[in-house]
A and B are shown apart, each in its own frame.
Chain A
């Protein structure tokens, strides 16, 4: 891998007063690992973000997937174009248009279309999430005109686009009267909970990840999951772990489904899945991902569980390629919500 020195970037910007045209600044995944280990408390992933608007004038990021995710975000930011987002809901599933609990779906339905070739059944994630909520006697509201959460715009340093999306979403939440926003996507949760208040001030609602709601449900006995002897390993999504600090709920859920074996790098030091913001995926990403997959396979687990649709896509994509490390890194990936739903004791 190409050496990238955070210290050098900081030195360059401080001494020269300019942002170096370094692709490494775009390659940063803002996963927050360096912030976690920094002894001086430098929030380096935030620092990288502040460099990006200026860097964009000199060097554009390499966008993957034909920049489609980025175009979806821009289209979503136009107030006149009202999305139509409820078609994934299956006939037997319950939603309630008077509920104060709102299920924020995020971009998974779009990604399901875009990544159909990976055969991941991404729509299974929102569907499982809704079934799990229904099982706990929660019929959430799913709003039709939900917009992109703006996560990628924020981390790219595009404040204008991010603010537009925040205002549109918060207006929609307030219009329908929301007390709790539940999300299954860690990126949406971390943006709404931690980043939206920077634009609109304190939020009038609570933001919870579905995993937290589910763990409460299990503890209160509202929902029961079948356990079997399967050995599972859990990959911490960076937005869920380091950004939101949710480490225990997914572990409790995985432990209630099978036996959990931890990978050597987990929790605060669990590496990111390799790509963020749908950009700069390339030759330097693959070894990183293969290393992670090999690490998961070496635990002896039969499946790798993750809690983020993006981790699922990126790691599956890495696995779908015929790479030298593959024989020792091949193990099925599964989303935690889909797995939990398949083990519902009905």
Chain B
């Protein structure tokens, strides 16, 4: 592993809470790790197990799913579906040899800009300590 390695992190953010939280973090000039690529989706329930897995096969070292707090989902239960799927994918990737901690689920509301920046920073630190996925061998 080279010392200048920087992780690739994909953050799926729901339009109504987490993405608005990211906006707020920006408006409040909160600093957060630049390694994260934010993908906006309408709801965390939109993110299928295949999409989370695809992020890993496409070269992500860590994947975040950020949605509304339970009960706050714009579509009522999308975030609960996301929770179930994340649980399932964590089991699958663990079997496949990927640390389950590389997939994170976190609820971030539109008013929690601080929490957004904090979550991103902590997760980036975690991924940095875990190192590149598969030791960086034959990464895509």
Docked-complex contact B49 and A68, CB < 8 angstroms: yes
Docked-complex contact A114 and B138, CB < 8 angstroms: no
Q: Total interface residues on A, using CB and 8 Å?
A: 25
Most buried by A among B54, B96, B135: B96
A71 to B51 CA separation, bound complex (whole angstroms): 9
User: Least Cβ distance of B57 to chain A in Å?
Assistant: 4
Docked-complex contact B88 and A81, CB < 8 angstroms: no
Residue numbers in B under 8 Å from A110 (CB-CB): 92, 95-96
Residue numbers in B under 8 Å from A87 (CB-CB): 95
| Interface positions of B from 114 to 140, Cβ below 8 Å from A | 133-139
With CB as the reference atom, state the residue of chain B lying closest to A76: B96
Set B50, B51, B53, B98: member contacting A81, Cβ < 8 A: B98
A82 to B133 CA separation, bound complex (whole angstroms): 11
**Interface status of B81 (Cβ within 8 A of chain A):** no
- Render B15-41 as a binary contact track against A, CB cut-off 8 A, 1 for contact: 000000000000000000000000000
B interface, how many residues as a size bin? 20 to 34
Number of A-B contacts (CB under 8 A): 73
| Interface positions of A from 72 to 87, Cβ below 8 Å from B | 72, 74-76, 78-85, 87
With CB as the reference atom, state the residue of chain A lying closest to B135: A80
With CB as the reference atom, state the residue of chain A lying closest to B87: A113
Set A65, A75, A114, A145: member contacting B98, Cβ < 8 A: A75
Docked-complex contact A80 and B49, CB < 8 angstroms: no
A101 to B90 CA separation, bound complex (whole angstroms): 31
Docked-complex contact B57 and A71, CB < 8 angstroms: yes
Most buried by A among B53, B98, B133, B137: B53
Docked-complex contact B88 and A113, CB < 8 angstroms: yes
**Interface status of A67 (Cβ within 8 A of chain B):** yes
Docked-complex contact B50 and A75, CB < 8 angstroms: no
Set B92, B133, B137, B139: member contacting A72, Cβ < 8 A: B92
**Interface status of A109 (Cβ within 8 A of chain B):** yes
**Interface status of B56 (Cβ within 8 A of chain A):** yes
- Render A107-143 as a binary contact track against B, CB cut-off 8 A, 1 for contact: 0011001101000000000000000000000000000
User: Least Cβ distance of B87 to chain A in Å?
Assistant: 10
Residue numbers in A under 8 Å from B91 (CB-CB): 113
Residue numbers in A under 8 Å from B97 (CB-CB): 75, 81-84, 145
Docked-complex contact A75 and B57, CB < 8 angstroms: yes
**Residues in chain A within 8 A of chain B (CB atoms):** 63, 65-68, 71-72, 74-76, 78-85, 87, 109-110, 113-114, 116, 145
**Residues in chain B within 8 A of chain A (CB atoms):** 48-51, 53-54, 56-57, 88, 91-98, 133-139
Beyond A75-B53, A81-B97, A84-B94, 12 additional contacts (C-beta under 8 Å) are: A66-B49, A67-B54, A79-B137, A81-B98, A81-B134, A83-B95, A83-B96, A83-B97, A84-B97, A110-B96, A113-B92, A113-B95
| A-B residue pairs in contact (CB < 8 Å), sample of 19 | A66-B48, A66-B50, A67-B50, A67-B54, A68-B49, A68-B50, A71-B50, A71-B56, A72-B53, A78-B134, A78-B137, A79-B137, A80-B134, A80-B137, A80-B139, A81-B98, A81-B133, A83-B95, A109-B95
